[in-house]
Amino acid sequence: MTLWKKNSKPGTGGQGAAAGRPRIERVTPLAAISGGEIALRGHGFTENGHLRPQVRFGDLAANVVFSSTNHLVVRVPEGVTSGNLTVDNGRAVSAPVSVAVGLTIAEGLHPVANPAVDAAGNIFSTLSGGRGQKTPVSVFKVDNNRSMRPFLTDIMNATGLAFDRDGFLYVSSRLDGVVHQVTPDGQRETYAEGMGVATGLAFDSDGNLYVGDRSGTIFKISPERQIFVFTTLEPSVAAYHLAFGPDRHLYVTSPTTSSFDQILRVSPAGDVSCFYRGLGRPQGLTFDAQGNLYVAASLAGNRGVVRMTPQGRDAEVVISGQGIVGLAFTPHRSLVVATGDSLVELFLDVEGLGH
């Protein structure tokens, strides 16, 4: 089920045939996690404009935030597993509309950036903790059966995660500025030191590792472990989240207190430009196989995952949800989003870049 049609209009076969039956004509966005808000447009949502309708996801009732005869805003309930959305105006029930809803696959975490996904589809996420806090587990692994187990311990404030083309996992620590290299069976060694407040990690197609320093410096580490300063951003911008696009440019975000933050685009030569401006607290970011950029952020007051075209235009919220800090596509054409304490998977039928 591909969900990324900008103005989805569900089929109307049979809808409205019965007098007084509500009709859903448009749903935006067509994907959400628990707590996210979805807008419905159509007709007959309220009976004679007075009764408040009931909206359900499967058998679970949603909270109606706003209600009129042709416009509803509803909040996705906790524990939702069915994306079959219906409107009951007290006289009749609409035909169902399909919405992709996120399924929680791991809890008790503390991600502060993107999860990482290996070639087999295993998902890795951090239990980062507060600065200087030693957590019992640093990184968890969630396998293809969606079973979670500890993977790494004894890394203080594990922050950024990234895989190289050989299947080694790299983990940054924002406490001591160390980047760790980890084998598939969990053997760890120090890969680089002195990375400042090391946060975002990303590999280019040549195998160079880029490390964001919260002070704004982005380091480049060659496969031979030679360390260079790739570029330096303005002091107000921290290179907290990094991702390479299909154009071989590095994309960078960092949340600030502004509601008009930007996504920066850095050329292979280290030249910095603004790719998009106008987001609230942009955080983790990733690309699909078509070159569209997905970023955890708010747009025009709507929080969730924002998608924009390769040219940095046509930005829209395509997944609604609160507290999303990172995201990653899987080989199964699903998207995993990281909230402040959990991982949630949405089956979107979208191929990620590199899968």
Mark whether 287 and 321 lie in a shared domain.
yes
pLDDT of residue 325: 97
For residues 324 and 345, the answer to whether their CB atoms sit within 8 Å is no
CATH of the domain at 311: 2.130.10.10
* pLDDT-flagged residues of the chain (< 50): 1-2, 5-9, 11-17
Q: Residues 82, 83, 89, CA angle at the centre, nearest 5°?
A: 100
Structure tokens at 206: 């040549």
Mark whether 317 and 305 lie in a shared domain.
yes
Domain contains 5: no
- Whole-structure pTM over 0.75, yes or no? yes
Mark whether 59 and 197 lie in a shared domain.
no
User: Which of 67, 101, 135 is the endpoint of a domain?
Assistant: 101
Domain contains 289: yes
Domain contains 14: no
Mark whether 34 and 131 lie in a shared domain.
no
Mark whether 279 and 150 lie in a shared domain.
yes
pLDDT of residue 313: 84
User: Which of 68, 101, 134 is the endpoint of a domain?
Assistant: 101
**Domain of 199, in residue numbers:** 103-347
pLDDT in tens, 239-264: 899 999 999 999 999 888 777 899 99
For tokens 């994306």, the residue is: 83
Mark whether 28 and 162 lie in a shared domain.
no
pLDDT of residue 297: 97
Mark whether 160 and 45 lie in a shared domain.
no
Mark whether 71 and 156 lie in a shared domain.
no
pLDDT of residue 20: 85
Mark whether 79 and 49 lie in a shared domain.
yes
For residues 222 and 250, the answer to whether their CB atoms sit within 8 Å is no
pLDDT of residue 14: 41
User: Which of 101, 120, 152 is the endpoint of a domain?
Assistant: 101
CATH of the domain at 74: 2.60.40.10
Counted domains in the chain:
2
Alpha-carbon distance 82 to 79, whole Å?
Answer: 9
Domain contains 131: yes
Mark whether 186 and 251 lie in a shared domain.
yes
Q: What is the 3-state secondary structure (H, E, C) of the chain?
A: CCCCCCCCCCCCCCCCCCCCCCEEEEEECCEECCCCEEEEEEECCCHHHCCCCEEEECCEECEEEEECCCEEEEECCCCCCCCEEEEECCCCECCCEECEECEEEEECCECCCCCEECCCCCEEEEECCCCCCCCCCCEEEECCCCCEEEEECCCCCEEEEEECCCCCEEEEECCCCCEEEECCCCCEEEEECCCCCEEEEEECCCCCEEEEECCCEEEEECCCCCEEEEEECCCCCCCCEEEECCCCCEEEECCCCCCCEEEEEECCCCCEEEEEEEEECCCCEEEECCCCEEEEEEECCEEEEEEECCCCCCCEEEEECCCCCEEEECCCCEEEEECCCEEEEEECCCCECCC
Mark whether 182 and 305 lie in a shared domain.
yes
Mark whether 46 and 128 lie in a shared domain.
no
pLDDT in tens, 136-149: 999 999 999 999 99
